Amino acid sequence: MMRIKDRAWQRLGQLIDALPKETPGGDTRAKGVTPPPMLTPRQQAAQAAGLSRDQVKQAVNIARVPADT
């Protein structure tokens, strides 16, 4: 039986995993332009939720574990 906290971490990982990993607009470094530091959608969501980088990785890894059948 899955506990509430475990289910919450799993759902958090699913939501974060659904967000794009990169910022839209492509890579401007190839054009010789140094872009200002921008946060990806995942980083923005994590920052708004008060999550560390390690917590985001943990949640996504938990979400990727196959469900018991």
What DSSP letter does each residue of 21-51 carry, written as one string?
Answer: SS-TT--SGGGT--PPP---HHHHHHHHHT-
Query: At 36, which helix (H) or strand (E)?
Result: none
Nearest alpha-carbon partner for 62 in 13, 5, 18: 13
* Global pTM value: 0.72
Q: Which regions of 1-56 does DSSP assign to beta strands (E)?
A: none
Alpha-carbon distance values, 1 to 30, 45, 57, 69 (Å): 50, 29, 24, 12
Structure tokens that stand for 2 in this block: 């899955």
pLDDT tens sequence across 10-49: 999 999 999 988 766 655 556 666 666 788 889 999 999 9
